[in-house]
Structure 1
Amino acid sequence: MKFSEFNTEAMFQIGDESLLEKYRVGEQLGVFTFIWARQNSARVIVDNIPIRIPQHSILALTPLQFLQFEAGKDLIVYQFNRSFYCIQDHDKEVGCAGSLFFGDMYSPIIPLDDKEQKSYSALHSVFIEEFENKDAIQSEMLRMLLSRFIIKTTRLLKSESASEAITDNKQELVRQFNLLVEAHFKKEHSVAFYAGKLNKSPKTISNIFSKLKKTPLKIIHDRIILEAKRQFIYTNKTSKEIAYDIGFDDASHLSRMFKKQTGSSPTHFRLKSTIN
Structure 2
Amino acid sequence: MQLEHLCPKTKGKLIFTHLQDKPSYFNKNGLDKDLLLTIALNGEGSQEIIINGMAHEFPSYSIIPLVSAQDYSFEKPERITAWQYSRDFYCNMDSYFEISCFGLLFFGYRGSQFLKLSESDREKFTALQQLFIEEFQTVDTIQTDMLQMLLKRLIILTTRLAKEQYLEGKIYEKEKFDLIRQFNILVDQHFKTEHQVSHYAGKLHKTPKNLTRIFNGFNYSSPSQIIQDRIIMEAKRLFTYTSHSVKEIAYELGFRDAGHFSRFFKKATGLKPSDFRKQQ
TM-score after normalising by structure 1: 0.90
Partner of 2:94: 90
In the alignment, structure 1 residue 127 sits paired with structure 2 residue 132 = yes
Q: What is the Cα deviation at residue 45 of structure 1?
A: 2.3
Structure 1 CA distance, aligned partners of 2:174 and 2:136? Answer: 36
Partner of 1:259: 266
Give the secondary-structure state (helix, strand or coil) at the position aligned to 2:98.
coil
Root-mean-square deviation (CA, aligned residues, Å) is 2.2
Quote the sequence identity (%): 39
Partner of 2:7: 5
Structure 1 CA distance, aligned partners of 2:255 and 2:177? Answer: 30
Partner of 2:115: 110
Partner of 1:188: 194
Partner of 2:69: 64
1:111-146 C-alpha deviation (Å, 9 max, x unpaired): 101111111112222222222322222211111111
Structure 1 CA distance, aligned partners of 2:275 and 2:123? Answer: 47
Shift in alpha-carbon separation, 1:68–1:38, aligned structure 2, 3 A: closer
Matched-pair contact (CA < 8 Å) for 1:185–1:246: yes
Question: 39, 43, 63: which is aligned to 1:34?
Answer: 39
Matched-pair contact (CA < 8 Å) for 1:27–1:66: yes
Q: What is the Cα deviation at residue 98 of structure 1?
A: 0.6
Matched-pair contact (CA < 8 Å) for 1:258–1:266: yes
Give the secondary-structure state (helix, strand or coil) at the position aligned to 2:90.
helix
Matched-pair contact (CA < 8 Å) for 1:42–1:72: no
Partner of 2:235: 228
Q: What is the Cα deviation at residue 179 of structure 1?
A: 0.6
Q: Where does the alignment leave 5 or more consecutive residues of structure 2 unmatched?
A: none
Counting matched residue pairs gives: 272
1:83-124 C-alpha deviation (Å, 9 max, x unpaired): 2111x0233122111110011223422110111111111222
Matched-pair contact (CA < 8 Å) for 2:43–2:61: yes
Moved over 4 A (4+): 21-26
Q: What is the Cα deviation at residue 27 of structure 1?
A: 2.6
The higher-RCO structure (CA 8 Å, 6+ apart) is 2
Structure 2 CA distance, aligned partners of 1:58 and 1:25? Answer: 19
The answer to which of 197-206 and 258-267 deviates more is 258-267
Amino acid paired to 2:43: R
Shift in alpha-carbon separation, 1:180–1:19, aligned structure 2, 3 A: farther
1:196-234 C-alpha deviation (Å, 9 max, x unpaired): 110111111011112324111111111112222222222
Shift in alpha-carbon separation, 1:151–1:200, aligned structure 2, 3 A: same
Q: Where does the alignment leave 5 or more consecutive residues of structure 1 unmatched?
A: none
TM-score after normalising by structure 2: 0.88
